[in-house]
Amino acid sequence: MKATYNDFLISNPNCSKFSSNQEAIAVFDFLNQDDNIIKMIDYCEMGKPALAACVSELEAFVDHFPHPALLLTDGFTRTVIGRMIKSILEPFGYRPTVQKSFPKTCNVKYFSSASCYSLTGSATMKIAKFVTEI
């Protein structure tokens, strides 16, 4: 089963201040969309930070919150987002391996680095890509 926001909170008790934060829940749901998971895993397989797969979209998504309580200028908030990604990728067997900086050419406003992941754990979920005739 895919990770849930509650799974994230249980595995990261120091993030409990976000337990009822609707924006944090929205960010988790954004990151936990199938297409974002697939892109993050693809980036992992290329040795790139998982967040690099959707960082621009994430920043734009958060920037459009009408009255933001979740600020990407806050270092702890950025760390929380990294922990969300860790929780989301864990069921697929991906574990963090190294932190890498984003290239200067990336269009990134708030993040300077993020974790890379490798398939090193046991998986309960998998990505299935295939071509089929319709």
Residues 83/41, Cβ–Cβ less than 8 Å: no
127 CB-side CA count, 13 A: 20
pLDDT at position 121, please?
83
Q: Please provide residue 57's backbone torsions phi and psi, each rounded to the nearest 5 degrees.
A: -65, -40
The count of other CB atoms within 10 Å of the CB of residue 91 is 18
**pTM of the predicted protein model:** 0.93
One DSSP character per residue, 82-124 reads HHHHHHHHGGGTEEEEEEEEPPTTS--SS-SEEEEEEE-S--S
Residue pLDDT tens, the chain, 134 long: 999 999 999 999 999 999 999 999 999 999 999 999 999 999 999 999 999 999 999 999 999 998 888 899 999 999 999 999 999 999 999 999 999 998 777 789 999 999 999 999 899 999 988 788 98
Distance CA 70, CA 56 (A): 16
pLDDT at position 104, please?
78
